[in-house]
Structure 1
Amino acid sequence: MNKNNERLTAPEISNLWTHYIRETMGLCVIKYMLNTVQDPEIHKVFRTAQGLCDKHISKLKELFLQEHFPVPKGFNDKDVNLDTPPLFTDFFCLNYIHTMTMHGSQSYSLAFTVSIRQDIRDFYYQCNLDTMELYNQSLEVLISLKLLNPPPYYSTPDKVHFIKSLDYVTDLVGSKRTMNAVECGNIYFNLEKSMMTKGCLIAFKQVCKDKPIIKFLEKAINAANKHIGIFTTLLLKEDLHLPHTFDSEITNSNDAPFSEKLMLFHSGFLFAAALSYYGTAAMYSMRADIVLQCEKSIFDDLLIYSSFGKLIIKKNWMEQPPFADDRKMI
């Protein structure tokens, strides 16, 4: 029995279960990239990442065992082939791990705020610290290697200004005001994440041998291209620069370093994350055309995520989340 003598709540069970599956997936990718990167500074980042993954997985297993909760299958060494040649450049790998820290920070913060038990809160408090440490380390290496492409710079205002007209928020057609800093920041980072997603999808399609998965990846790449085009246009109309693209950071290897199950699951994870950050961009935007484009992107991603769900269930690769007790059957 756990030291708190308290049962796990539904959000705590959900977060621990989901976290384990995603963490074991991430560890497979990190092990492979650690084995292929050449730059010593980038190698250090991945050593840190692997250590944090191992620590988190160990604690998750401990929590499952003390609760007599079956440990999810997740992913393991059978889902990664460390002997395959590099599929990604060092530049891609560094940006990949940096992007994953952003996703991790968002997930851990949410898990912390919906947890009740002290030991679960302590765990996710530490996970937040860990991912911030990795974020800082990966960012410092991007800066030191002169690989960082920062978001656009805005001049600071000379005084406080107030919105005077409803045109600020209702200009769906016709002339539009310039993009404010909040809108620009969200669009830039969303575009950067979409470009990383596209890079992963291109790599997976290049090495995948399963025809239904290849077909799904083609649809996913088309959706990513559409969204990249939309948000690229928004920035260029403001004469603002774009993030790096990663299409050319995929090597010509056609040897799959990951199982098809992992590549499919990872693709679904990226689209699930996109739903969240497009939603955030829509919520904080005050320009109607930007909100509309975010909502269209969310709809597109929901269709892709639905296709992912059907395919992974058909493949019998989707573990069933924990259910509430069915009182009618007791």
Structure 2
Amino acid sequence: MPDTPSMTSSEIGAIWITYQQKTMLFQMLDYFINKADDDEANEIMSSLKGDIQPFITQMVSMFNEEGIPIPIGFVSQDVNIDAPKLYDNGFDIMFVRLVKEISSGMHTLNLTMVYREDIILLFRDLTKMTQKYYDDCTRYLLKKGLLPRAPYVSIEKSIEFVKTNNYLDGAKLFSEKRPLNAVEIAHIYRGVESNVTGMQMIFGFAQVAKEKEAKKYFNKGGELAKAIIKDMSELLLQNNIQVPTTAGGNITDSKVPPFSDKIMMYCISLFCSFSLGGNSIGTAFSTRNDLPLKFAAYMKDIFEYAHEGAKIMIQNGWMEEPPQTIK
């Protein structure tokens, strides 16, 4: 009997998904590093790329040991490092920070689905690395004035308990909505912040996409992100709360694609999954009745958009199948 048990189905799936995401970021970092004109940003991304490589190698070894075909994931041909700058003014670190935010949630979830000691250690190490670079990116953006802090609000000085069901009110036509509480503000603010970066990214993708259908899809996604930003911002403004804005991450006028349509489509799929998860958490922790309805509406639109993207990926042969069970 071998000392190390075979991988379970959940362990295979967790590593396969992680391999896709890590090879995507590994390849895209090549371009961002090549175009970085800020030494500190270059150092953060170069260090991250170097730290990702051993994890990719480790996952390949795990697949080999199990006799599982190595996923294609994403390769150097998916990136053109000689393409002109598509984004400027800190977008590279804004993008990396958002990917690290997604990775943090993925690795935590994966830790709940794996059992083998070496795989548990893999995701613990990935979590540790992810937290380090998320913190590095956050500090960099704050220092450069490219990341606005969440708003400060006045908090009541005494502890209160909810006394009536009116606290939950927010959907009745003729009743006055109570102010947002700090938990609700946090989720709305995070939603605006992540959608701003996502909108900048996706409109850039639309500008350089080769396939007409992909270009149209990216533009549609940018408009969806813009609508969500507008709606969430209005919620904050109704409560006299500052809306997050940033002067960073602008799109240049380049029309030369630095990334393949395949890797850009996968990137959008990943961000949609993250957005669905974030909105579901916002729904769970919002007690004002109108907010879960709004989050649910966002989730419906995002799910339908992601499903449309999956169809485009399948039609173009861009969607790699996860390991299949034998019938």
Bin of the TM-score, shorter chain as denominator length = over 0.9
Cα displacement (A) at 1:182 = 0.7
Distance in 2 of aligned mates of 1:67 and 1:102: 30
Distance in 1 of aligned mates of 2:32 and 2:61: 27
| Cross-structure match for 2:13 | 14
TM-score by length of 1: 0.94
| Cross-structure match for 1:204 | 205
Give the letter aligned to residue 193 of structure 1.
S
Is contact 2:23–2:73 with CA below 8 Å preserved after alignment? yes
Cα displacement (A) at 1:142 = 1.8
Cα displacement (A) at 1:9 = 1.6
Is contact 1:196–1:245 with CA below 8 Å preserved after alignment? no
Q: Which runs of 5+ in 2 are unaligned?
A: none
| Cross-structure match for 1:97 | 96
Cα displacement (A) at 1:163 = 0.7
Distance in 2 of aligned mates of 1:168 and 1:219: 37
The CA RMSD over aligned residues, in Å, is 1.6
Distance in 1 of aligned mates of 2:190 and 2:153: 15
Is contact 1:87–1:203 with CA below 8 Å preserved after alignment? yes
| Cross-structure match for 2:289 | 288
Distance in 1 of aligned mates of 2:44 and 2:311: 36
Q: How does 1:117-266 map to 2 (within 5 A)?
A: 117-173=116-172, 174-245=175-246, 249-266=250-267
Is contact 1:182–1:284 with CA below 8 Å preserved after alignment? yes
Distance in 1 of aligned mates of 2:280 and 2:250: 28
Is contact 2:169–2:177 with CA below 8 Å preserved after alignment? no
Is contact 1:17–1:321 with CA below 8 Å preserved after alignment? yes
Is contact 1:42–1:90 with CA below 8 Å preserved after alignment? no
- Cα deviation digits, residues 222-245 of structure 1 (max 9, x gap): 221221111011111111112235
Give the letter aligned to residue 123 of structure 1.
L
Q: Secondary structure at the match of 1:249?
A: coil
Give the letter aligned to residue 211 of structure 1.
K
1:29 and 2:31 correspond: no
Is contact 1:195–1:246 with CA below 8 Å preserved after alignment? no
Deviates more, 1:56-65 or 1:139-148: 139-148
Q: Which runs of 5+ in 1 are unaligned?
A: none
Cα displacement (A) at 1:190 = 1.2
- Cα deviation digits, residues 36-86 of structure 1 (max 9, x gap): 111111111111221122122111111111111111001110000111111
| Cross-structure match for 1:297 | 298
1:66 and 2:65 correspond: yes
Cα displacement (A) at 1:128 = 0.5
Cα displacement (A) at 1:147 = 2.7
The alignment covers a number of residue pairs equal to: 325
Is contact 2:63–2:69 with CA below 8 Å preserved after alignment? yes
Distance in 1 of aligned mates of 2:97 and 2:277: 18
Distance in 2 of aligned mates of 1:227 and 1:180: 20
Q: Percent identity?
A: 27
Give the letter aligned to residue 189 of structure 1.
R
Distance in 1 of aligned mates of 2:30 and 2:82: 11
**CA 1:205/1:247 → structure 2, altered by over 3 Å: closer, same or farther?**
farther
Distance in 1 of aligned mates of 2:219 and 2:251: 16
| Cross-structure match for 1:310 | 311
Deviates more, 1:76-85 or 1:134-143: 134-143
